[in-house]
Amino acid sequence: MLLPFAALIFGLGLLVWSADRFIDGAAATANHFGMPTLLVGMLVVGFGTSAPEMVVSAMSALEGSPGIALGNAYGSNITNIALILGITALVAPVQVDSGILKKELPVLIGVTALSAILIYNLEISRMDAVILLAVFTIVFGWTIINALKAKKDDRLAQEMEAEVASHKLPFGKALFWLIAGLILLVIASQLLVWGAVALAKAFGVSDLLIGLTIVAIGTSLPELASSIAAARKGEHDIAFGNVIGSNMFNTLMVVGIAGALHPMEVPAEVLTRDMVVMGLLTIALVVLGYDRHNHKQGRICRRRGGLLLATYVAYTGLLVAEAVAA
């Protein structure tokens, strides 16, 4: 019992740390090869916080633990909205640009609906995975094109340049952390998955429950840290956009890669419970972020942040109650 728990905790810590080192190395290496600063910055922001989810779900699928793979991806989405955005809003109310409500959020709602349709038959085939990855490529390509068109926006350019500057390393060191970070990510994810599965068996609960709670929270720690830091600095677009981008990445890329590596059966409760909660929370972002008095900018105040946090507590309570009843 003690060993699996230690493996889980150590694996989570190593996962978050190695993800940072991997992104440092990847960003610096890409910069050394002459990639545009804006593009490198987007890759760092977009992939950096979601690297733990991607590796954990991929390794879980390969090791025959679809509950952890799917629970990690969808559980992280629920955690991002209800727990992370809720805590962030309590720390500092989050301003929401109307452009995000009109462009990015509808895309996320559509992606969530597509995911629900694909798992309706309670399986993720390789064809389903290909569809998810293809949609991710289109969405990410569209985001890059829009960002490059907006390059004249000094604020955006400065943010990306500052992001890349924070990852500058000599080429040799960059290459070292690129390779070492990736290796450590894989080792950490294997430790985490082994510990999670062992604990699930020891407590007689499903690996899906472990994936939806402990693993999902652990792999979402980078999003929590970056969102709170962004909100405190007044970078509300980054705080809110980080949640949307991460959820998009989890739904398309994380589940897509896991399904491509190993087709998975989907537990029925993922469709009837977790997907419903995830969908409702995604739609709730439109309602919570809209301000009828200010059509250019909405605001998720502390009261709304508290509501999101209470929703997460209620959802977690439901998971625990169902596990006890079983």
Domain count, the chain: 1
Identify whether 288 is part of a domain: yes
Q: Tokens 């600063």 label which residue? A: 37
- Give me the DSSP letters along 210-240: HIIIIIHHHHTHHHHHHHHHHHHTT-HHHHH
Label each residue of 257-279 as H, E or C.
HHHHHCCEECCHHHHHHHHHHHH
Neighbours of 64 (CB within 10 A): 12
Identify whether 114 is part of a domain: yes
Neighbours of 85 (CB within 10 A): 31
Q: Quote the tokens at residue 111.
A: 């992606």
Q: What CATH number should be reported for the domain holding residue 140?
A: 1.20.1420.30
Q: What's the whole-number mean pLDDT along residues 304-323?
A: 92
pLDDT of residue 134: 96
pLDDT of residue 271: 93
Q: Is the pLDDT of residue 263 over 60?
A: yes
pTM: 0.83
pLDDT of residue 311: 96
CB-based contacts of 265, cutoff 8 Å, min separation 6: 66, 122, 123
Give the model confidence (pLDDT) of 7-62 as tens digits. Answer: 888 888 888 788 777 777 776 776 677 666 555 555 565 566 677 888 888 888 88
Identify whether 17 is part of a domain: no
CB-based contacts of 231, cutoff 8 Å, min separation 6: 88, 89, 91, 92, 94, 239
Q: Which residue range(s) make up the domain with 254?
A: 49-153+192-325
Confidence grade of residue 237 (pLDDT, cut at 50, 70, 90): low
User: What is the enclosing helix (H) or strand (E) of 111?
Assistant: helix 104-118
Instruction: Give the whole-angstrom CA distance, residue 270 versus residue 78.
Output: 12
Mean per-residue pLDDT of the chain: 81
Helix/strand/coil for 297: strand
Give the model confidence (pLDDT) of 95-121 as tens digits. Answer: 777 667 777 889 999 999 999 999 999
Identify whether 121 is part of a domain: yes
Identify whether 212 is part of a domain: yes
Identify whether 59 is part of a domain: yes
pLDDT of residue 63: 82
More confident residue, 113 or 238: 113
Query: Percent of the chain, pLDDT > 70?
Result: 81
Q: Is the pLDDT of residue 155 over 80?
A: no
Closest listed residue to residue 240, CA positions, set 101, 72, 91: 101
Identify whether 295 is part of a domain: yes
More confident residue, 169 or 69: 69
Identify whether 286 is part of a domain: yes
Pairing of strands 123-124, 264-265: antiparallel
More confident residue, 174 or 83: 83
Closest listed residue to residue 209, CA positions, set 123, 313, 323: 323
